[in-house]
Structure 1
Amino acid sequence: MTIPEPGRPRPISGSESLYLDLVRSLAAIVVVLDHVQDLFRMPLLPRLGHEAVVVFFVLSGYVICNTADSRETTLASFMTARLARLWSVLVPALALTVLCDAIGRHFGTNPAVYARINADYPFLRIGAALTFLSETWVSIQPLSNGVIWSLCAEFWYYVLFAAFTFLPRGTARFLALAATALLAGFKALLLLPIWATGVLLQRWQGLRRIGRVAGTLLALGGLAVVVAITTLDIYGLAWAAARHSTSPWLFTQLAQAKTFWLDWIFGLAVAAHFAGMRRIGASLPLEQLAGPIRWAANLSFAAYLFHPPLLYLCASFLSPAQGWLALLITFPLIALLGRPAEGSKGWWRRRLEHLLPVVSRGIGLPWPRGATGSKAH
């Protein structure tokens, strides 16, 4: 068993990890159920996809910071692991998007579902997504896979975090942060505080010393705010206010950051809930469901990136009333295709461990020997 260094935050415990996996799985399902309503008539389902993405951002900031504190403790190992994780699912997702869109457009009985999906400059669209530049300053949607916007923002959060964490203070760090902020674009920067709440959840030592009563209050209070915002349709009111208070051009350009201030509040409530559950969550009887929870969580990333092209493909062959059939087709395909994609992280990491030093030295940046290895504390 490893013992954390004095003053260093402890790694996420097994019971907490299981709870976070449960939340991650449910959030992925919520996103799928939200997007199926863009293509099919399913009036009884809630529309909470945007809120689920905010949950993903908080989770990501927390888990990634925890990983940097416990395993990937060098810049090289951290970025190698992050790129391997992203590309292991992003590359298959883009390939699936190209394939599904081609089949749906040319052979589907209802190709009109793609009418709102821009298909011009396909190489530019795919290339921008692969290099995480789809949302830098203008939105470049990679065909039918619109959810990739959040992945592009998240990548630049990783780079900002890595530059701030691993680079020494001075000109190099300042230039790296400035260049990354420029590449991230204003929409990602407006949503950055959400991701940062996850980092705060990991790094704020006072939150780890709260008692059981305070933990219960944080868990229930955070959950109450989340429920209030979602059930009272506060997001709907915020979107309407944003539309009336900004110009049509700015409203369009803000894209998913239209209600960034409400996202900050929602993300803070989610982080407060997680902080409380970290203290009291061990009492939940989740161990009995550990197998299914872990299985679903391991597919959550694939579910998030694979479902848009699969749902569009279904919509090109099915009627708008057959949404449940589309889900019955989509979820098994995600499980079938997602397992090998999720399992390819090791292959990507080995390739990157050989490739990144070559690329780095080729552009004149130093890359220390053995830098990609992870170091546990």
Structure 2
Amino acid sequence: MDEGWIGFRTNAVTPANLPTWLDLARTMAAIEVVAFHSYQLMFLERSPDPGDGSPVSYLYSLVLTLSAHGMAAVIVFFVLSGYLVGGPAIVRARWGQLNAIDYFAARGARLYVVLMPALVTSICAYSLARHLPNWQEFVATRHDLYDAGRLFSASAGVTTAVCNVAFLQTIACSEFAGNLALWSLSNEFWYYVLIFALVVVWSRPSFTFLIIGILALFWYAERHDPAGTHIGTKFIFYFLIWCLGAAVYAIRAPAVSWLFLFCVGLVGAWLLYVGGRRRNGRQANWQPA
């Protein structure tokens, strides 16, 4: 294909040396997320204080510098997911090679190999934590970071477990056993389903109803989330980021086109961020009559 033209890939084959670099990126992102949350939990996002001695101040500065990019690492995960899942789905659908059974079998295996151990680990950790001395005080002092007060009433019952297995956490139920990180698996699952519906809807118009249903779930989660998990934009915001990764894989285009798309993405992200902040501000200032 001429480099001056924009078009789709002709196959869904990933270059041989690329998976190694993607695995490295995912590993580094995972370490950064763990460091980010560990710093929040153990140090309460404490910044170096002028009253600290030099060694302590340097230590805090180092730890803060290394762990301050957790949200960026989460975005890396979603971009890579879009690149590795959404991109090939678009290409295969474009050339009539997308098989629903193969697609969902692969996606289900990828998700459940993470989710099932996470549920077991969550109930074990939650049950153990509730029997430790002073655990309530520890949680209460971190309320502002994670709305951690929810841990006092977190559900670890069968109904919540089944709801999480169906990837409806943050939509129809809370995260199982207080494991707030499970929100991302719910997002991932619905992105997998939504991208499949979007790429086949032209040949199978009945999938329009599935698309409408998923968007309705997103709307419901954003509007009726009492814990504020979605801040009004989380499902859509991360889906757009996810789609950016998919587009990078599926589309061949000159560098200037990608630069333009990147700038548009930055503007869109800023608008979503401002919209979410304004919505939160209105909720914070709202007083019942």
Task: Give the TM-score, by structure 1 length.
Answer: 0.52
Unpaired runs of at least 5, structure 1: 1-5, 227-234, 252-377
Q: Distance in 1 between the 2:275 and 2:82 partners?
A: 29
Greater RCO structure (CA 8 Å; 6+ sep): 1
- Structure 2 distance, partners of 1:245, 1:169, is 40
Secondary structure at the aligned position of 2:178 is classed as coil
Q: Which shifted more, 105-114 or 193-202?
A: 105-114
Which one of the candidate residues 189, 199, 207 is aligned to 1:165? 199
Structure 2 unaligned regions, length at least 5: 1-7, 47-59, 141-148, 223-233
- Are the aligned partners of 1:156 and 1:184 in contact in 2 as well (CA < 8 Å)? no
TM-aligned CA deviation for residue 170 of structure 1: 4.9
How far apart are 1:241 and its partner, in Å? Answer: 8.7
Matched with 1:146 is: 180
Q: CA deviation at 1:22?
A: 1.3
- After TM superposition, give the deviation of residue 239 of structure 1 in Å: 8.0
Residues in 2 aligned to 1:70 and 1:250: alpha-carbon distance in whole angstroms: 49
| Aligned partner of residue 60 in structure 1, secondary structure | helix
Within-5 A mapping of 1:67-78: 67-68=88-89, 69=91, 73-78=98-103
* Percentage identity across paired residues of the two chains: 26
Q: Distance in 1 between matches of 2:117 and 2:238?
A: 27
Distance 1:58 1:145 in 2: 23
Name 1:201's counterpart in structure 2: 248
Greater mean deviation of Cα atoms: 111-120 or 32-41: 111-120
Q: Contact (CA 8 Å) 1:97, 1:145: kept in 2 or not?
A: yes
8 Å CA contact 2:87, 2:248 repeated in 1: no
* CA distance in 1 between partners of 2:155 and 2:179 (Å): 15
Structure 1 position 61 matched with structure 2 position 55: no
Following the alignment from structure 2 to structure 1, what is the Cα–Cα distance between the partners of residues 213 and 79?
A: 24
Q: Which residue among 105, 112, 127 is the counterpart of 1:102?
A: 127
The one-letter code of the counterpart of 1:102 is S
Are 1:131 and 2:166 matched, yes or no? yes
Corresponding residue of 1:40: 42
Matching residue's letter, 2:252: Q
Distance 1:249 1:157, change over 3 A: farther
1:245 Cα shift?
6.8
Contact in 1 for aligned 2:160/2:176 (Cα 8 Å):
yes
In 1, Cα distance between equivalents of 2:86 and 2:117: 26
How far did residue 129 of structure 1 move? 1.9
RMSD value over aligned CA atoms?
3.6
DSSP 3-state at the match of 2:130: helix
Aligned CA distance change for structure 1 residues 160 and 50 (closer, same or farther; 3 Å): same
Q: 1:179 maps to which residue? A: 213
